[in-house]
Structure 1
């Protein structure tokens, strides 16, 4: 490609513009065979452009769950869909999709795809709406807690021995609510922690050591690190908190496999992913997030009915859970201009949480 091909004067040509898009763009022929693909399509579909070209789109993305394939076959039909259930390889996903027919070439169409069901793309407006309720609730609850606890302690000193456990229970419950309020306040904070360059694997090993010390017997934590990764641009304390939450959830999810022929296993993998970017609304620009951390476990996975909402406050599949852990994880990652997503590989029996973060310049 020559400089003339890349740009006309100071204006990039269409091919360069499409290559820079952060969502997948595919050109399909009359038989739904991919003839062109941009770099974002490689990331979403997990194949190189060379392997994508010549492959039928329905061999890569199974739309049978949403009964969309017959509409794709209608080559002259425009289509816009959000949150479409689909299988990409062995992973369940929800996709945003557009199909644009090309009148100049009957039967040909351009299709765009983006992950629209489980990813946090770092949008500040979305995050504010998600955490506003917990922040207000925390403010309203915290003030009277000290008075209630003080009254409980006073009762514990004055009541008869047989009634003292009730007074102690009041203090214990107040302490539990206070811890919950502290988590909600962190969730509602609008001041992100400062970011800087640091060694990614050092932070991961710190988090793994914390969780390993408390993990149920028989749960194995495995490292699959790329030692060539450069420093990441993030907040180390916040990232360690994110990883401790994810690893603790994974340990709990696969603890039931302890003592079985195949024990509980958590794999933490790092790699460099080229071409992946997100729109950071707070910064008003596009941020490339090529550093990827994947936390995988062989537990039973998340209830499919909860999957699209697992990063929302007060949504939980745990008995007695508060539903704030993953909401806080989402916020901390977004504050570092990163993204987090969840997928389930039913064939391999693995649940994956992927974090993508910027690289330190």
Structure 2
């Protein structure tokens, strides 16, 4: 009697190829029976080359994995986590967090390895999300608390101005009215992203960049070059075009202002760079495809004292700045389920916007 062919290990585990983390499936003697695409890339070897090898040999401390496997065989735990160094033939070692768990079939184990820099990034993104939620509530409550007495102050100053005859006193009331109006504008800007409805339509990210570029060139006509490094294969996606223009403009405008000295010297450069990234994780979600938009400048870099706080409201590295531009940019990008990251050193600051693609 003929039976169907047995399912090969690779066939059973192909779903692991969709994951961005490194996955190995091993027998309980340490023999590798499957490596996903991410692990192939990390090790620089094909799964055919890797299968059948002792997976412990790919770690600097193979005895730790051997001990973990023994514990799994003895049912000492369901899941075990530890940190290790992964050997790579033609690359630097990779620090990973290893998670070892029993597979569905007896005698098989699944090992998931998350690069520690990726783990650090995930932790940072989680802190940013929590920070953004707290900021949103704080801003909303604070703005409303300021707005009501502000209207009373302005109204009282107007009535007072009608009663006084001294030119000096009128000037004082005008100062009060002017400053009240300035604070009102600030409050309105704080509340703006929470008031305006999310208008969704088809967005071409390169049209967004071109719009921002034209605004920059109009405001800074000399000493600044705005370069394009576009990936023409990026598809359109659903989003709020005006919000994305504003978010990108806020980042680029900050960059242009930080480039004051280089603009004076005539060698200031801002670069818009677009790419598609595959199988990426951000905001604790896995995405098959995502847009990566970089706004890169050759300025002095973000001050170390505010690097960790640049997305907080009212934090600014520029004298006279409101500290709202990056806060609003982050809010608008988060409304597209995205995130903004920043890497900065003297001579190069790179703001990276990540947004999921369909």
Q: When the two structures are superposed, what TM-score results if normalisation uses the length of structure 2?
A: 0.69
Q: What is the SS of the residue equivalent to 1:222? A: strand
Identify the residue that residue 52 of structure 2 maps to in structure 1: none
**How is 1:155-234 mapped onto 2 (pairs within 5 angstroms)?**
155-157=160-162, 158-186=164-192, 189=194, 193-215=198-220, 217-234=222-239
Report how far residue 135 of structure 1 moved: 0.9
Report how far residue 321 of structure 1 moved: 2.9
2:140–2:191: 8 Å Cα contact kept in structure 1? yes
1:121–1:334: 8 Å Cα contact kept in structure 2? no
Uncovered stretches (5+) of structure 2, i.e. residues with no partner: 1-5, 25-34, 46-58, 66-80, 85-94, 101-110
1:313–1:327: 8 Å Cα contact kept in structure 2? yes
Report how far residue 26 of structure 1 moved: 8.5
2:301–2:345: 8 Å Cα contact kept in structure 1? no
Q: How many residues align?
A: 295
Q: What is the SS of the residue equivalent to 2:264? A: coil
110 and 292 in structure 1: CA distance in 2 versus 1, 3 angstrom threshold: closer
Q: What is the SS of the residue equivalent to 1:138? A: helix
Structure with bigger gyration radius:
2
Identify the residue that residue 330 of structure 2 maps to in structure 1: 330
**How is 1:262-301 mapped onto 2 (pairs within 5 angstroms)?**
263-279=267-283, 286-301=286-301
| CA–CA separation in structure 1 for the residues paired with 2:206 and 2:99 | 46
1:242 maps onto 2:247 in alignment: yes
Cα deviation code 1:1-54 (max 9, x no counterpart): x9844553xxxx2x643x4445x5489xxxxxxxx8864x9xxxxxx927x638
2:22–2:112: 8 Å Cα contact kept in structure 1? no
1:266–1:297: 8 Å Cα contact kept in structure 2? yes
3 and 74 in structure 1: CA distance in 2 versus 1, 3 angstrom threshold: closer
| CA–CA separation in structure 2 for the residues paired with 1:141 and 1:249 | 27
123 and 307 in structure 1: CA distance in 2 versus 1, 3 angstrom threshold: closer
| CA–CA separation in structure 2 for the residues paired with 1:101 and 1:271 | 31
Higher relative contact order (CA 8 A, sep 6+): 1
| CA–CA separation in structure 2 for the residues paired with 1:321 and 1:306 | 14
123 and 246 in structure 1: CA distance in 2 versus 1, 3 angstrom threshold: closer
1:278–1:288: 8 Å Cα contact kept in structure 2? no
Cα deviation code 1:166-189 (max 9, x no counterpart): 2221122111111111122135x2
170 and 26 in structure 1: CA distance in 2 versus 1, 3 angstrom threshold: farther
Uncovered stretches (5+) of structure 1, i.e. residues with no partner: 28-35, 42-47, 55-71, 82-96, 103-107
Report how far residue 313 of structure 1 moved: 2.4
| CA–CA separation in structure 2 for the residues paired with 1:164 and 1:216 | 40
Cα deviation code 1:97-122 (max 9, x no counterpart): 753498xxxxx995533152896479
Cα deviation code 1:213-232 (max 9, x no counterpart): 22273122222222232112
Question: How large is the RMSD of aligned CA atoms in angstroms?
Answer: 3.9
| CA–CA separation in structure 2 for the residues paired with 1:268 and 1:160 | 55
Identify the residue that residue 313 of structure 1 maps to in structure 2: 313
1:112 maps onto 2:115 in alignment: yes
Q: When the two structures are superposed, what TM-score results if normalisation uses the length of structure 1?
A: 0.68
Structure in which a larger fraction of residues adopt helix = 2
79 and 153 in structure 1: CA distance in 2 versus 1, 3 angstrom threshold: farther
Q: What is the SS of the residue equivalent to 2:170? A: helix
